[in-house]
Chain A
């Protein structure tokens, strides 16, 4: 395997390892809640073991060394020789963070990483001394009592470049192998089979051969499994063997039991627990977002060509041909919709970080806080999720620091000792509402008011409403924390939160009840690039407006409209609302029909009507911003390709209303 190929595998390892670390972190946090859950413990152990094994394969020696020591602790836990303590979980969580560092800085080039590495290793070894020494003697005994001797297997594995394309995930294989027993992997430097990388795995297990074969079910052609004598393989043999390909061949040939594993039939009902786990982890794959963009481009081209075909196809007057074409266009549209969906990912991806934040911070502040989530499987655009992460972290940090009271205080006022932060997500139309709620003391209105008066934002005589008062919190440089902590800082933050939410075209509102708690509500569009819109036309020009801004579609007779021209308003629901003659403002040709279609727009609670020729219908629009550098009317802020290949201009309703009604 040349350096380039190894690099490719390495990158794959980094991606997979990051996912595994996420899983590990999640499981460690659950393990804190239920330290006796053996199933979880097994899973944690397996994840560590897999990281250890595969990091060794790809030469991440520090990760390997690190996880090896960590794994020892979990081995003891697994054998029931020690119990899962807060200290262990602290170290393990820090370790997952550190392994993430090591994935980037594999050779510990960064000084701070070096120090961290040393400090963590020390921490881990200190753990060992206090909790583990005594029981470790027992462990020797207990293995002796064990009558069934584990046997050692030699597995010779060849992987080619295509292996990942065939849907085989090496990480999963090793994760599964870890369920059977402990193993060591060696990479064979020399090429035994052209274009293949060969690996030598020594597995010590109680499992039968069939079980091992099962693990390698999907790469059966390239694996040889041989039973060695039951003596455990020592490091020396291992080194001797693995450094010389000829000895490997000899070594394998000398075994009596040499036999190529024939590909076993796949029994669908033969699912083992281990396999189920590995399956679930392959449910999602990591895709470069540029590839998605390219796919999106291809799909829109396909849709355009399809509509061209339909237009030109009419000339052929061939019914059958046209039937095929219609089916083709249905498919193309379905295709387009599913590609749009690809960009959406669930909020639950973020929740883990919040859980970790709450855990770490509450410990630091001596508070007890539970974290609950509701509806976090709701999906948002990847970019939106990325943009939401920081502001939400900040809000939660505020809830922990300022919201939730200390346990003593909570007890004294009759609340349960543990506070609770709830993250709940509700979908409404193309918006997603995210509520972050704490059951703390609520925002002290007097404190905020006094501070605002002090800062000259309010006059002492002002009687602000809750909404007005809480909006002050989002002003730059406003902080009510009595003593500044290193947790939620000095009032830089809430203004940034508001700004970042604004960047996502979202809104944020605070509600708070004295002594009961505070709720932050974020209203976020589901996607920055995809919106539901109403498509209409004036003089054959296509336009769209966000469907959420549309109150109603109506019609009015042209003569009525002409009568009302001087007042500039039309009646709607017992009131007069202004109307905008877009045809006139945009210098478009033609005349309105006798029955003029009107679209009533609602822009921040201001109603306005526009006159159009044709209302074409709803359009699920992928919108693209139009550069602000071009000197065009600011009401056109984006464009969208229509299903028929034409382009519609999107009208920004808020700019439109302010532009033409003043």
Chain B
């Protein structure tokens, strides 16, 4: 079975999400910061008259280089969180392409190393000799990094 995906860059990796839930891709938007919110919440952007929360994927993936918002893309999506559909925007480095992927070729994530962002990945697919990481945006959005880091510290 074929499905269409939107591919994009976060840091040095290429990720993809199903286009079904993607509403629009925005650029050069004024993002209004929300004071005293978690670091990964960049702020609110206006989309079709609604105020939509934008989250910073670099912060959420614990990347060292900050996202350059002058060039960044915001992918506005419908996310299914706790039986509710909410609109949210993911800020990424660059949106690449819309591709068709044969879902039978999706592989499970190889347990290479215990990296934070592994738990955001639903699967991996080989596309033109590139590895596409299929991203679970719901998990990225709801993931509480502070909590996670706390756990990591306690475990180590």
Q: Which residues of A contact B (CB under 8 A)?
A: 293, 296-297, 300, 304, 541-542, 585-588, 622, 624, 626-627, 629-633, 636, 638-641, 645-649
Given A585-B36, A586-B36, A632-B41, A641 and B30 contact (CB-CB distance below 8 Å): no
Beyond A624-B49, A647-B51, is A629–B86 a contact (Cβ under 8 Å)?
yes
Cβ–Cβ < 8 Å partners of A633 in chain B = 34-37
Q: What 1/0 mask marks residues of chain B from 32 to 65 whose CB sits below 8 Å from any chain A CB?
A: 1111111001001110111101000000000000
**Interface centre among B35, B48, B50, B82, by most A CB within 10 Å?**
B35
Q: Chain B: which residue is nearest A529 at the CB level?
A: B49
Contact B30 A645 (CB under 8 A): yes
CA distance A138 to B105 in the complex (A): 86
Of chain A, the residue at the smallest CB distance from B144 is: A631
* Pairs A–B under 8 Å by Cβ, sample size 24: A541-B32, A542-B32, A587-B36, A626-B44, A626-B51, A629-B81, A629-B82, A629-B86, A630-B41, A630-B53, A630-B88, A631-B41, A631-B144, A633-B34, A633-B37, A636-B34, A640-B51, A641-B51, A646-B30, A647-B30, A647-B44, A647-B46, A648-B32, A649-B34
B128 at the A interface (CB under 8 A): no
Q: B46, B53, B84, B141 — which one has the most chain A CB atoms within 10 A of its CB?
A: B46
Contacts of A300 in B (CB 8 A): 46, 49
Docked complex Cα distance between A630 and B53 (Å):
8
**Complex Cα spacing A648 to B141, Å:** 23
* Nearest 4 pairs of A and B residues by beta carbon: A639-B51, A586-B35, A647-B32, A632-B37
Question: For the complex, what is the distance from the CA of A200 to the CA of B84, rounded to whole Å?
Answer: 53
Asked if A629 and B142 make an inter-chain contact with CB atoms under 8 angstroms apart, the answer reads yes
Complex: A631 Cα to B41 Cα, angstroms: 8
Smallest CB-CB separation from B138: which chain A residue? A629
Contacts of A542 in B (CB 8 A): 32
Residues of A within 8 A of B44 (CB): 626, 639, 647, 649
A551 to chain B, nearest CB (A): 24
Chain B's interface size range is 20 to 34
For residue B142, which residues in chain A have a CB less than 8 angstroms away from its CB?
629
Task: Scan residues 100-149 of chain B and give those whose CB is less than 8 A from a CB of chain A.
Answer: 141-142, 144
Residues of B close to A631: CB separation below 8 A: 37-38, 41, 144
* CB neighbours of A648 from chain B (8 A): 32
Contact B48 A297 (CB under 8 A): yes
Q: What is the CA–CA distance of A547 and B88 in the complex, to the nearest angstrom?
A: 29
Q: Complex Cα distance A442/B48, Å?
A: 50
Smallest beta-carbon distance B131→chain A, Å: 31
Residues of chain A within 8 A of B50, CB atoms compared: 624
Q: Could you tell me if B35 and A587 are in contact, using CB atoms closer than 8 angstroms?
A: yes
Closest approach, in angstroms, between the C-beta of B147 and any C-beta of chain A? Answer: 10
Contact B51 A646 (CB under 8 A): no
Task: Specify which chain A residues have a CB less than 8 angstroms from the CB of B36 in the assembled complex.
Answer: 585-587, 633
Given contacts A296-B49, A629-B86, A632-B34, 11 further A-B contacts (CB under 8 A): A542-B32, A588-B35, A626-B44, A631-B38, A631-B144, A632-B53, A633-B37, A640-B51, A645-B30, A646-B30, A649-B32
Interface centre among B51, B81, B87 (most CB of A within 10 A): B51
Complex alpha-carbon distance, A632 and B45, angstroms: 15
C-alpha gap A633/B37 in the complex (Å) = 6
Among B30, B33, B48, point to the contact of A541 (Cβ < 8 A): B33
**B138 CB, nearest partner CB in chain A, Å:** 10
Closest CB-CB distance, B109 to chain A, in whole Å? 25
Q: Complex Cα distance A506/B82, Å? A: 28
| Chain A residues in 8 Å Cβ range of B88 | 627, 630
A36 CB to closest chain B CB (Å) equals 53
* B38–A304 touching, CB < 8 Å: no
**Which residue on chain B has the smallest CB distance to residue A622?**
B49
Bound-state CA distance A648–B34 (Å) is 10
